[in-house]
């Protein structure tokens, strides 16, 4: 999860998030190069009196400043489209979890099991135990197995919500009457925190999401106790 004064993205825990972080660094370097070039040209124009009479009519210069931005846009668009298609693909998920947004809590249903459903409410501040995080802890965590493709079906029963886990690179809107889907796969166990990322009313800030990713054997033991 994020820590105080963090300027970068959270540590990636899924292949998709790793690709997003690489794309972020790739695009940021292009932005830096463009910014430094523009600042250099502005500084040169303000600090020198040298002029060239044919600069304004040079066809070569016009060709360069037309073609170069197009090449830069292609260098940004191609990896962006690649990641976009990767995020939309579903590879035979081994588990499907349906998430419903409410004002103001989440409910979860493991559709591959006969009767495995529960609601997830934020733990009030006065009930937190030592070491627990304010506004981020819930009474029922979503337990998922690691290293397996998992499909999340996301919707809402009242207003717009958004189910977001930054370290997994997930942010999917929960829309009443519409069923959106997302794929996640965690490469390591742990606790991963998120929050509703759509302003959904007065208690919008009190809809945390906690994923507990565990090895497959531990997940099977947990599911057996919940049924």
3-class state of residue 58 by DSSP: coil
DSSP labels for 166-204?
Answer: GGGTEEEEE-BT--EEEEE--SS-EEEEEEE-S--STTG
Check residue 226 and give its pLDDT.
Answer: 82
Backbone Cα Rg of the chain: 24
The whole-number average pLDDT for the span 83-95 is 85
Q: What is the pLDDT of residues 174-193, one digit of tens each?
A: 999 999 999 989 999 999 99
Check residue 54 and give its pLDDT.
Answer: 63
Distance, CA of 94 to CA of 40 (rounded, Å): 54
Q: What is the pLDDT of residues 129-163, one digit of tens each?
A: 888 899 999 999 999 999 999 999 999 998 999 99
Tokens of 49: 């009196």
Mean pLDDT computed over every residue of the chain? 89
Check residue 116 and give its pLDDT.
Answer: 92
Q: Which domains does the chain have, with CATH numbers?
A: 15-88 (1.10.287.90), 95-226 (2.60.40.420)
**pTM listed for this prediction:** 0.83
With a cut of 80, say whether residue 59 has pLDDT above it: no
């Amino acid at each position: 999860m994020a820590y105080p004064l963090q300027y970068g993205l959270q540590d990636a825990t899924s292949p998709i998030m790793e690709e997003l972080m690489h794309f972020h660094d790739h695009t940021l370097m292009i932005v830096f190069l463009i910014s430094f070039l523009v600042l250099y040209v502005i500084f040169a124009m303000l600090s020198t009196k040298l002029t060239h009479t044919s600069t304004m009519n040079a066809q070569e210069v016009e060709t360069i400043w037309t073609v170069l931005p197009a090449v830069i846009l292609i260098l940004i668009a191609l990896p962006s489209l690649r990641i976009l298609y990767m995020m939309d693909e579903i590879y035979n998920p081994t588990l499907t979890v349906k998430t419903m947004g409410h004002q103001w809590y989440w409910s979860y249903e493991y559709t591959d099991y006969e009767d495995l459903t529960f609601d997830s409410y934020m733990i009030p501040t006065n009930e937190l135990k030592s070491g627990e995080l304010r506004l981020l802890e819930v009474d029922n965590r979503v337990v998922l197995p690691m290293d397996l493709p998992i499909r999340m079906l996301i919707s809402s029963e009242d207003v717009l919500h958004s189910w977001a886990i930054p370290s997994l690179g997930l942010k999917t809107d929960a829309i009443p009457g519409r069923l959106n889907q997302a794929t996640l796969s965690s490469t390591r166990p742990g606790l991963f925190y998120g929050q509703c990322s759509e302003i959904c009313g007065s208690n919008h800030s009190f809809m945390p999401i906690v994923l507990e990713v565990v090895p497959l054997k531990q997940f099977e033991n947990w599911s057996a106790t919940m049924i």
